[in-house]
Amino acid sequence: MKKLLFSLIAVSLISCQAPKEKESEQSSEPTVIGYEFNDEGEKLNVIAGDAAITDIYLEYIQAHNDKDLSKISEIDMDNIVVRAANGAIINGSDSHTDQLDIWFNANNPSWKVKFMVANNVQGNNGQNQAWLTTGVDVVQSIDGNNVTSHHIVDVNFVDGKVKELIVYDRASGQE
* Reported pTM: 0.79
DSSP letter (8 states) at residue 18: P
What is the side-by-side strand order in the sheet with 43-48?
Answer: 32-37, 43-48, 110-122, 128-142, 145-158, 161-171, 76-83, 89-91
Share of the chain above pLDDT 70, in %: 83
43-171 CATH fold = Nuclear Transport Factor 2; Chain: A, (3.10.450)
pLDDT, averaged across the chain: 87
Tens digits of residue pLDDT in 87-143 = 999 999 999 999 999 999 999 999 999 999 999 998 877 788 999 999 999 999 999
HSE-CB of 119 using CA atoms within 13 angstroms: 19
Please spell the DSSP secondary structure of 47-84, one letter per residue. Answer: EE--TTHHHHHHHHHHHHHTT-HHHHHHHEEEEEEEE-
Tell me the one-letter amino acid at 92.
Answer: G
- Number of C-beta neighbours around residue 131 at 10 A: 22
On the question of pLDDT at 28 being above 80, the answer is no
Domain ranges of the chain: 43-171
CA distance linking residue 151 with residue 171, whole number of Å: 9
Q: Coil, strand or helix: which one is 30?
A: coil
For residue 175, name the pLDDT band (cuts at 50, 70, 90): very low
